[in-house]
Amino acid sequence: MAKVMVIGAGPAGLRAAESLARFGLDVLLVEQAPYLGGALARHRYGGLMPYFDSGPQVLKAMTAVVTDHARVTVCTESQVGRVESTDGGFQVELMGQTATEEHVQAVILATGFTHFDPRRDAKYGYGLFPDVITGAELEEQMAAGPVHRVSNGAIPESVAFIYCVGSRDRQVGNTYCSRVCCAVSTKQGIELRQQLPQARIVMFYMDVRTYGLWEDQLYWRAQEEAGIVYVKGRVAEITQHDGRPLLKGEDTLIRGPFEWEFDLVVLATGMEPAAGTAALAAKFGVEREPHGFLRQAKPMVSAAITNRPGVFVAGAASGPKTVEDSVMEGDVAAMAVLEHLGVKATP
Amino acid sequence: MAKGAGIVERSLVRDADILEHENFVLDGIDVSGRWNTMLKSRVHASRDLQAWDAVRQNLVATSIDRCIQCGMCTAGCTVAHEIPDFNPRQFIYWVRTGRTEELKQQANVVWRCVGCYVCTHHCPKGVNTAEVIETIGQWLATVVPNRMDPAFHANHHAYRRQLARRGRLSLPMLQATFLRSLGRQHELWSPEMQKTVLKMLWDGRAFKALAMGRPRRWRKNRRHVAAQA
């Protein structure tokens, strides 16, 4: 039976591996981290927007089938080495924990994303002021215990979220919208309200892109049920005053500068292609689009098709994406593989 | 000396932004005299969320939380077309972001709402804007009552008194009470007013207004209303 290599064991890769295995194909699931689940596991997401599903439960369900299925070989802490094109497939060298050479008929690249590192945008003072954290760090705080100020461990009385950190910004080189940060921050705000009933929670935004059904599920709910205040204006600078972050910005709705102090500041960092994306794309001869993500060659036909026959893409490797969308693309990629291999249903 | 006379390029600075102190001590150093002039900062530095807490807890104004600042209220507003400073969207935003200074300064503008409810009917989020603005006005009336224009004050009280006493409103009577309390009763006999009175006598409205009666069970319920007023 045909063998397929899935690179990256996040929501997209896990779903693709599961679907292919259920169709009776042999799957080699390659993951460089020691765990499965990608960003979901990396940052220990507690609740998932928009339905507030439990992150750990979703993760458990995603990984359970893959780890138990006889047709799936999971290679964690492994990386792709040399790649050679052969008749009807690829000869791929694996390095690390699983050091071997495999011949596969098709490859799915599901390498995901990495969060923008806010140290690259010095105006937010991330890394300098302890009470300026990222959204991913907030998730880790929420998973580990009560949300607190990193500087002194106190429970925050005021929390500011800053949208579009590392997104929609020529200065940092990312001209695209990361699609999920508005909604994720809003979700975090709603969750935070349960922990901090009295806190003043403010969102600083340019636009609130809780598109589609998230408008009332998240955005309206955050305002109406959680009493979160949205302030239109991008924060220009964070300094520190009396040991608290001081946010300087322009309130564009009323044309006035503000300098407000908060106990805790959460940066809604955007998505960038995962670190190894460029190298992997080069090895497989897959083109990247101008932002550095893997290029979907025929998005109107299938989200999974790349310029290279036999190599498919799924999830955030081709652009910022939600967990739901990544799972969906995992299936799309599996389907594209079946089509590529000419698999037919037998009576 | 004229205000801010010592400022170079004085014409670029607005009068209201100049602060002059008789005696001024800055960080323990007496800087009275030549250096006593300061400019007011445009920066909003401390959020005063009292209005926010008060308004959103008021039964008729809880819908303020629904506002997404789209501006439909102001776009349709009857008053905003006449008074550029009257901006319901902005009033809500000031309350939310703790800009109560601006709110207090513009109190006399906030009170100019005529209660037409166009804003409420326009609002795509179901904010009862008219009553939110009314609630903001009520809050301002408790915080800066002195800012209220005497005419607003008189009008306001004429309404409340009549409602409390009679349970119903009669416009001719309101007008009379209002003008009388301002010492402007002569305006009741202006040629325009005389024409109106004649018309109302002719079509019978004048008699209706005088004999408008009382609400049902008024005697029993009156004390509740009076307590509110």
Q: For the segment B178-187, what is each residue's pLDDT rounded down to a tens digit?
A: 999 999 989 8
Q: For the segment A53-76, what is each residue's pLDDT rounded down to a tens digit?
A: 999 999 999 999 999 999 999 999
Say if the ipTM goes beyond 0.90: no
Rounded to whole angstroms, the maximal C-alpha distance in chain A is 74
| Sequence spans of domains, chain A | 3-112+274-341, 118-270
Tokens describing residue B174: 């309101």
A108 - beta bridge partners? A6, A312
> B89 and B138 in contact (C-beta within 8 Å)?
no
Does A236 touch chain B if contact means CB atoms closer than 8 Å?
no
| CATH of region A3-112+274-341, choose from 3.30.70.3150, 3.40.50.150, 3.50.50.60, 3.20.20.150 | 3.50.50.60
CB-nearest partner of A258 from B44, B56, B94: B44
Indicate if the pLDDT at residue B34 is higher than 90. no
As a whole number of angstroms, the distance between CA A194 and CA A59 comes to 23
> A229 and A189 in contact (C-beta within 8 Å)?
no
Tokens describing residue A19: 């679907």
What band does B228 get if pLDDT is binned at 50, 70 and 90? low
Q: Do domains A3-112+274-341 and A118-270 have the same CATH topology?
A: yes
What band does B208 get if pLDDT is binned at 50, 70 and 90? confident
| Sequence spans of domains, chain B | 1-43, 50-147, 160-228
Domain A118-270 is of which CATH architecture?
3-Layer(bba) Sandwich (3.50)
Indicate if the pLDDT at residue B200 is higher than 70. yes
Does A99 touch chain B if contact means CB atoms closer than 8 Å?
no
As a whole number of angstroms, the distance between CA B214 and CA B36 comes to 63
CB-nearest partner of A224 from B66, B90, B97: B66
Reported in sequence order, the residue ranges of chain A that DSSP labels E, i.e. its strands, are 3-7, 26-30, 47-48, 53-54, 72-75, 78-86, 89-96, 100-104, 106-109, 113-115, 132-134, 158-165, 200-205, 229-232, 235-241, 244-251, 256-261, 264-269, 271-273, 311-313
Instruction: List all residues 6 or more positions away from B12 whose beta carbon is below 8 Å from its beta carbon.
Output: none
> B187 and B193 in contact (C-beta within 8 Å)?
yes
- Enter the pTM of the model: 0.88
CB-nearest partner of A253 from B42, B69, B125: B69
Q: How many CB pairs under 8 A join A and B?
A: 48
Ramachandran quadrant class, A211 (left: phi over 0; alpha: psi -120 to 50; beta: rest):
beta
Alpha helices by DSSP H, listed for A152-263, are: 181-195, 214, 221-224
pLDDT under 70: residue ranges of chain A: 1, 347
DSSP structure string for A289-311: -TTSSBPPS-TTT-TTB-SSTTE
Q: What is the pLDDT of residue A347?
A: 67
Quick one: closest CA in B to A208, which residue? Answer: B68
Average pLDDT rounded to a whole number, residues B60-75: 94
Chain B residues closer than 8 Å to A229 by CB: 52, 96-97
Indicate the helix (H) or strand (E) that contains A21. Answer: helix A11-22
Indicate if the pLDDT at residue B3 is higher than 90. no
As a whole number of angstroms, the distance between CA B213 and CA B216 comes to 9
Indicate the helix (H) or strand (E) that contains B209. Answer: helix B205-210
Q: What is the pLDDT of residue B15?
A: 87
Question: Spelled out in words, what is the top-level CATH class assigned to the domain B50-147?
Answer: mainly alpha
Residue A142 C-alpha, separation from nearest chain B C-alpha, in angstroms: 26
CB contact under 8 A, B43 and A230: no
Average pLDDT rounded to a whole number, residues B84-89: 94
Does B205 touch chain A if contact means CB atoms closer than 8 Å?
no
Kindly report the number of other CB atoms within 10 A of residue A109's CB atom: 29
What band does B175 get if pLDDT is binned at 50, 70 and 90? confident
What band does B229 get if pLDDT is binned at 50, 70 and 90? low
CB contact under 8 A, A232 and B56: no
Chain B residues closer than 8 Å to A209 by CB: none
Provide φ and ψ at B214, rounded to 5°: -130, 155
Residue A204 C-alpha, separation from nearest chain B C-alpha, in angstroms: 11
As a whole number of angstroms, the distance between CA A44 and CA A57 comes to 11
CB contact under 8 A, A251 and B44: yes
Q: What is the pLDDT of residue B6?
A: 79
Q: What is the pLDDT of residue B30?
A: 84
Q: What is the pLDDT of residue A70?
A: 92
What band does B1 get if pLDDT is binned at 50, 70 and 90? low
Residues 147-206 of A with CB under 8 A from B: 200
- Beta strand A72-75 with A158-165 is unpaired
CA neighbor of A303 nearest in space, from A290, A317, A291, A287: A317
CB contact under 8 A, A227 and B45: no
Tell me the one-letter amino acid at B9.
Answer: E
Of residues B12 and A219, the one with the higher pLDDT is A219
